[in-house]
């Protein structure tokens, strides 16, 4: 029997529904919540596949998933890519691929990072040319963390005074300043298994329980094709089996606002019934397909003895 483990946080209805559907649908597979404790390097994991929804928030969980992957366990998403969520890097990727994204500037942390002496920062121009930054981005703008996709430490600011007030609150976090797109439409796009796409109307400024529309999302065909093409390109490049991407649409042009989100909110309390069922069924199909796939590539976990001999001879 194959064992599938789900690692999740505060959400309940979606992962529990996945576990319930898998256990009722496939007798050769058992699904359950992942349980871990203190981890020894010699430990074995009982899972054949782990579906991760929380390690981007909890470093110990991410280390556990890397441990599992190095020991041949399939992990969705790849834990070695899942920790490289870098918003500035994403905008550079978009520019190189001629994709539309808000103008973005990478900023140093307001405070000196832990373990760094002031004398070590001689490579950094100080003070920064703030006038040049503000002229390039314009106002209003968003000040947000360079890492991750949560709204923590994110501020919408309307002038330099508000920028500096917000920047003073960001501490040792590396930040980006990003152009605010005055969108006419906003979509969160789920992509599961790198091929199945569901476009949902979404409003990031509303309260959580009102962000998704309780109805079918309508998108014109030209815009739909462009969104789907961009979604597949991003998801395939970053090797995400489960992802959501957010687009702000202005003048019928989709701007990518959020590139990677391994754990977009998917509980049934927030979603239209048909959208929840689509996400649930496609998740279960993905996990069952992946757990039964033969491993095509092995991670390199040992070093060739001939290479060690060459190193010792130097």
Question: Using an 8 Å Cβ cutoff, are 108 and 45 in contact?
Answer: no
User: pTM of this prediction?
Assistant: 0.89
Tokens linked to 86: 């870098």
CA distance 170 to 147: 13
**pLDDT for the residue numbered 16:** 96
Tens of pLDDT, residues 218-258: 999 999 999 999 999 999 988 899 999 999 999 999 999 99
Determine the 3-state secondary structure of 189 from DSSP. strand
Tens of pLDDT, residues 52-78: 999 988 999 999 999 999 999 999 999
- What residues have CB less than 8 Å from 287, skipping those under 6 apart? 4, 18, 22, 31, 49, 51, 76
**pLDDT for the residue numbered 230:** 96
* Beta-strand pair 29-33/2-7: parallel
pLDDT-based confidence at 83, cuts 50/70/90? Answer: low
Tens of pLDDT, residues 155-197: 999 999 999 999 999 999 999 999 999 999 999 999 999 999 9
pLDDT-based confidence at 311, cuts 50/70/90? Answer: very low
Tens of pLDDT, residues 20-55: 999 998 678 999 999 999 999 999 989 999 999 999
Q: How far is CA 118 from CA 110, 115, 169, 235, in A?
A: 13, 10, 20, 39
* Beta-strand pair 175-179/104-107: antiparallel
Tokens linked to 54: 């929380």
Percentages helix, strand, coil for the chain, rounded to the nearest 5? 35, 20, 45
First to last CA, the chain: 49
CA distance 151 to 167: 15
CA distance 59 to 65: 10
Of how many residues is the chain composed? Answer: 314
Tokens linked to 29: 């597979």
CB atoms within 10 A of CB 170: 19
Please state the φ and ψ torsions of residue 147, each to the nearest 5 degrees. Answer: -105, 140
Question: Using an 8 Å Cβ cutoff, are 20 and 274 in contact?
Answer: no
Calculate the CA 283 to chain-centre distance: 16
CA distance 246 to 227: 10
Tokens linked to 149: 């996709």
Calculate the CA 222 to chain-centre distance: 26
Tens of pLDDT, residues 268-293: 999 999 999 999 999 999 999 999 88
Q: Which of 62, 61, 103, 104 is nearest to 84 (CA)?
A: 62
Calculate the CA 176 to chain-centre distance: 17
Tens of pLDDT, residues 111-154: 998 899 888 988 999 899 999 999 999 999 999 999 876 566 78
Domains of the chain, CATH where assigned: 2-82 (3.40.50.20), 103-179 (3.30.1490.20), 185-292 (3.30.470.20)
**pLDDT for the residue numbered 6:** 97
**pLDDT for the residue numbered 255:** 97
- What residues have CB less than 8 Å from 89, skipping those under 6 apart? none
């Amino acid at each position: 029997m194959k064992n599938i483990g789900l690692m999740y946080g505060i959400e309940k209805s979606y992962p529990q529904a996945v576990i319930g559907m898998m256990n009722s649908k496939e007798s050769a597979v058992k699904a359950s919540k992942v349980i871990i404790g203190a981890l020894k390097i010699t430990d074995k994991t009982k899972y054949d596949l782990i579906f991760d929804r929380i390690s981007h928030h909890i470093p110990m969980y991410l280390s556990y998933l890397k441990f599992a992957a190095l020991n041949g366990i399939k992990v969705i998403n790849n834990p070695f890519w899942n920790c490289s969520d870098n918003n500035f890097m994403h905008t550079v990727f978009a520019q190189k691929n001629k994709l539309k994204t808000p103008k973005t500037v990478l900023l140093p942390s307001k405070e000196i990072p832990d373990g760094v002496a002031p004398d070590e920062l001689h490579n950094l121009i100080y003070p920064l040319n703030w006038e040049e930054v503000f002229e390039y981005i314009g106002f209003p703008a968003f000040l947000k963390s360079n890492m991750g996709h949560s709204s923590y430490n994110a501020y919408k600011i309307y002038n330099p005074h508000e920028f500096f007030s917000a920047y003073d609150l960001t501490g040792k976090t590396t930040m980006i300043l990003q152009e605010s797109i005055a969108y006419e439409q906003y979509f969160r796009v789920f992509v599961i298994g790198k091929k199945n796409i569901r476009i949902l109307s979404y409003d990031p400024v509303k309260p959580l329980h009102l962000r998704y529309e309780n109805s079918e999302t309508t998108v014109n065909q030209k815009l739909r094709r462009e969104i789907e093409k961009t979604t597949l390109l991003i998801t395939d490049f970053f090797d995400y089996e489960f992802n959501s991407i957010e687009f702000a649409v202005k003048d019928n042009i989709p701007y990518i606002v959020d590139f990677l989100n391994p754990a977009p909110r998917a509980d049934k309390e927030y979603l239209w019934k048909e959208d929840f069922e689509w996400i649930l069924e496609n998740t279960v199909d993905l996990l069952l397909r992946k757990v039964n796939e033969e491993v095509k590539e092995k991670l390199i976990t040992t070093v060739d003895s001939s290479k060690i001999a060459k190193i010792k001879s130097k």
